[in-house]
Structure 1
Amino acid sequence: MHVSVLTWIITIVVMLAVLVVDAVLMARHPHVPSVRECVACIGVYVGLAAVFGLCLHFFAGGTHSGEFFAGWLTEYSLSLDNLFIFLIIMRRMRVPRECQQFGLLVGIMLALLLRGLFIALGATLISRLAWVFFLFGAWLIHAAIDLVRDYRHHDTDDDADDATEGRLMRWVKRVIPSSNAFDEDKVFVRVDGRLLATSLFFVIVALGSTDVMFALDSIPAIFGLTQQPYIVFTANVFALMGLRQLYFLLGDLLNRLVYLPIGLSVLLAFIGVKLVLHAMHHYGLDARLGFDGEIPTSVSLLVIVGILGVTAVVSVARIRHDRRAVARAKAERLAKDRARFEATQDQWS
């Protein structure tokens, strides 16, 4: 897939324009977005991603369009896990709700910049060193195992601890003078002639450093679905668009996706295996062993949709089961209290 320099420029300019318009509107009307506003914005961004994928199908063919949708769905699902950590960071750093929107916006823009660097580095490695697929695949399988381990030990808050109280944050707080307070959406304030960082600055650093950790998983994951830097970049941008509104829309609802870590671990493991098989195919190792190691994009897309769908359905079933168990326990407790009360009444009579 050949992408001209002009196409790259137009794509980047349009995507930056969308983000700038979003930032300007937020700056002019700072507020906590309503549910209706969040749903409308997310619908627009999802619609834009769908239109972009259809345009790819028309101009570049179904294979590249399928790679984009598979990559976008993967990045979007991984961003949900990222969003969950964002929620914990906001709570731990006691960020006022009216300040959260600006912090998220700047954090997402910083994430786009950092992911662009990761994508450029990954594309360079892949174009010159095909064996790097073995490393990417092994890394994703290791990340999948870590997700399962963290889920079993309930260590969900570890990433938030690293972001808010890790070495990087301690060093930043020690080096940069701060006011130790929030001041609306200001990142820096001047007090007695000194320029001080507000607490919002450290929130942005925490969000940005957290996204770097997640990019170490998500960037190799999408390179397992496509080796086209253009598709990798656009899928990441579309996945991050609307993340701010999704944060306010979902909120504590993310806690209800009880099996999300398991679903993401299966997703990462699948892509990790796909990367290893692709590397084996590149060097002809699969043919020597008597099989074809290449997994078609259509199969990858179906597997990804299936994993996410099963994760959501099983999570909903678990929630309903827990609710019924709580209701049953409450009814049993009320029945016992009623029986005890009636027995006491019989004794008095």
Structure 2
Amino acid sequence: MVMRHDADASTALLEQVNHALNNGTALRIQGGNSKAFLGRQVAAEVLDTRAHRGIVSYDPTELVITARAGTPLSELQAALDQAGQMLTCEPPHFSPHATVGGMVATGLSGPRRPWSGSVRDMVLGTRLITGFGKHLRFGGEVMKNVAGYDLSRLLTGSFGCLGVLTEVSLKVLPKPRQCVSLRLEMDAAVALRKLAEWGQQPIPLSAASHDGRALHLRLEGGEGSVAAARERLGGELLAASYWDELNEQRLEFFADTRPLWRLSLPNNCALLDLPGEQLIDWGGAQRWLKSDAAAALIRAVVGTLGGHATCFSADHCDTPFQPLAAPLLRYHRQLKALLDPQGIFNVGRLYAEI
């Protein structure tokens, strides 16, 4: 059991929140600020979580790690790596300063997500400073408590609009025994058909991407299953670093100066007829688009397929996240009013109306 108390700054954070509540001051919650480009800009007093850091507890035999929100994500992953374990959601960093709280608040997952789950699936429990000036605990620290719906899951991907996340307990898993990456020459249309076919078969895929020229696959699992799949699929070996480059948006594709869009789609969608360049991720369920096309056009095309589009380029679009239908927006506003009645936390970060 690892017990660390690097820096518990929860009292100072709670005091800042209560001061803001007493004075009607809006707060902009931030950690490493590595994902500040996502969402709408927030003009408010900064509440910085980085002083509240450290791994609170970690017992590899229990497959659970608990850390404070300001803990660098790299520090948490280094502790897991020493024990041969990992966060299967493969969260991107985008900066050496990325924090655990920012990972949960943004809810972004990497190439392994369709096969191993999202950040939300890893969250077992949280501690939160609420809009009532209270420091509360939600969920638990053991996997048996994960059944059912709880506020901890709701906080994941909420971009700090519901409160100040101070601590999180996460499910972790052992690293796979074998990992091989392959590159197969084929066009995108053929790759999507192949991925749909392979999705019905016992192939140990953990990542699948097409960069416009070739299909890239990652196989993970036992030595026998990975070796058999590699022999069946063919192709040439691919450097494992490709997946980090994709996840951290360092591939040549992302250097294009046009706005970047993330398109989330149902499985087995065909190629999209949109201006610009596309990169396929998540076996086709996520597409990255570099395009000067209008937001309305992009969202209309994606919407006809039952998907949604998020703008990843700061200040390019006044509504970076997919606009909500009136009933959903009403629910969001009601939830905000219940958890942050004075409306001080990251106001307008997700939507202007929230």
Q: Which structure has the greater CA radius of gyration? A: 1
TM > 0.5: no
TM-score (norm: length of structure 1): 0.29
TM-score (norm: length of structure 2): 0.28
Which structure ranks higher in relative contact order (CA pairs < 8 Å, sequence separation ≥ 6)? 1
Name the structure where strand makes up a greater proportion of residues: 2
